Structure 1
């Protein structure tokens, strides 16, 4: 009785010597997790794949069939099971949440290793410095794309285009020096300069001109909306620089 009532699905996916379709693997896994017995058909050559597409009048694989009816590709399968499907054009704060969460964990771990305590003044300083380094890293993955997006709103970059290429390197430099607690005579003015200009630029573009733009804070290919996040990034840099100037001697990083 169990075998008669078992849910069954058939899938056709590319499994070639030089390529195994990742969406096919995801589709098989999803079907099994939904309790289906999967009849797994491999398309082993380009000719087999093209013949399958022509026969079923589809443009892509994998293709899943349930009870003889074609469901479609991996996204179609997720929709059938009521699971969310990511819209590549939708705005998302997930990259920013990931950055700040990782920076916070690194700051806590570093504080524990250095002082045997999770919550110290240095924890907050390291959190900001690590955040700057990670955000710079994301920008440096594709400086050209970052520069293009950055030029949409940064006031200095729009007057002096090379600044859009310098910015992520300057942010990384300031962040690394602040982690080390070294060369504050250099890191403080750099953070004040780029953070101050950035904050003013975001305020003007978003809150005065009311423009709807994408934020370059996590790189040039993100769908994070320009506004609070980018403003926070810049104000964090300014705040960190000011703190480094006014904090009591012997407090925080390196102590």
Structure 2
């Protein structure tokens, strides 16, 4: 009968102090186990023990992993060793936008089913855009100062009137909330139309005319989302929503 192959073993040294449990140590242990390793888990339980370990092995950080008597390094080095993707500092990503629009779409479907008993309705599309606006507004409201700074890189109105960069997150969120409720359309429609138009013109000029490579402030001041199609789409959605709801309001008067 064939014998089972010997289990692979790794040695992991990580901080586990009463006031601090190293999260990257836990991630390293989890990654090793998922890769089929038995983990010899060595806990560094005091500051002195940790400093002695770092001096003994000439390393600056913990955790540290050894495989086959070879030091692999910290958590990022371990991911690289196993061929896992690593995100570089400042690397652009569309993940935040995909998450926001994806959740907004699912929320609109859920609201449509709960309120109307159907997911196939123009109102569901309206809710999708309005919820997207609100979620994007929340992202900006987390750090209005950071958003306004990034916004000044390309928004034409904010460059002329700096306070507009501070007001924008509140205006977008308010317009989205009113559109979700279907209330005060006389305010929400022109508000969305105005900020959407200014934003679309600003993004188009910065990206497609001036050919500038900038980060988008659409998901907040700490965003690594590149300025371009995504931000333009956000603004076009607000324009369409403003025109559609404004026209419907005028026809109902």
Offset, 1:245: 2.1
Q: 1:122 to 1:146 in 2, by over 3 A?
A: same
Residue 60 of structure 2 aligns to a residue whose secondary structure is coil
Residue number in structure 1 paired with 2:128: 127
1:214-233 → structure 2 map (5 Å cutoff): 214-233=215-234
The superposition leaves residues 16-70 of structure 1 with CA deviations (integer Å, 9 ceiling, x where unpaired) of: 1111111100100111111111000011111111111111111111000011110
User: SS where residue 58 of structure 1 aligns?
Assistant: coil
Residue deviations 1:105-156 (CA, integer Å, cap 9, x gap): 0000000001111111111000000000000000111111111100000001
Counterpart contact for 2:186–2:246, Cα < 8 Å: no
In the superposition, relative to structure 1, how do residues 25 and 250 fare at CA in structure 2: closer, same or farther (>3 Å)?
farther
Q: 1:110 to 1:4 in 2, by over 3 A?
A: closer
Tell me the residue number matched to 1:165: 166
Instruction: Tell me how far apart the structure 2 counterparts of residues 198 and 241 of structure 1 sit (CA, whole Å).
Output: 14
Q: Which runs of 4+ in 1 moved over 3 A?
A: 1-4, 247-251
Structure 2 residue 194 is the aligned partner of structure 1 residue 213: no
Corresponding residue SS for 1:210: coil
Measured after TM superposition, the shift of residue 246 of structure 1 is 2.4
| Separation (CA, whole Å) in 2 of partners of 1:130 and 1:143 | 20
Structure 2: state its 5+ residue gaps.
none
1:58 maps to which residue? 59
Aligned residue number for residue 96 of structure 1: 97
**Scaled by the length of structure 2, what TM-score is found?**
0.96
Match of 2:78 in 1: 77
SS of 1:13's equivalent? strand
Q: Is the 8 A contact 2:8 2:36 kept in 1?
A: yes
- In structure 2, the residue matched to 1:149 is 150
Report how many aligned residue pairs link the two structures. 251
Cα drift, residue 88 of structure 1: 2.8
Q: Judging changes above 3 Å, is the alpha-carbon distance between structure 1 residues 250 and 105 closer, same or farther for their aligned structure 2 residues?
A: farther
SS of 1:42's equivalent? strand
- Is there any run of 5+ residues in structure 1 with no aligned partner, and where? none
* Displacement after TM superposition at 1:192 (Å): 1.1
Deviation sequence 1:182-239 (CA, Å, 0-9, x none): 0011101111111110001001111111110000000110110001010110110010
Give the equivalent residue in structure 2 for 1:107: 108
Q: RMSD value over aligned CA atoms?
A: 1.7
Query: TM-score, normalized by length of structure 1?
Result: 0.95
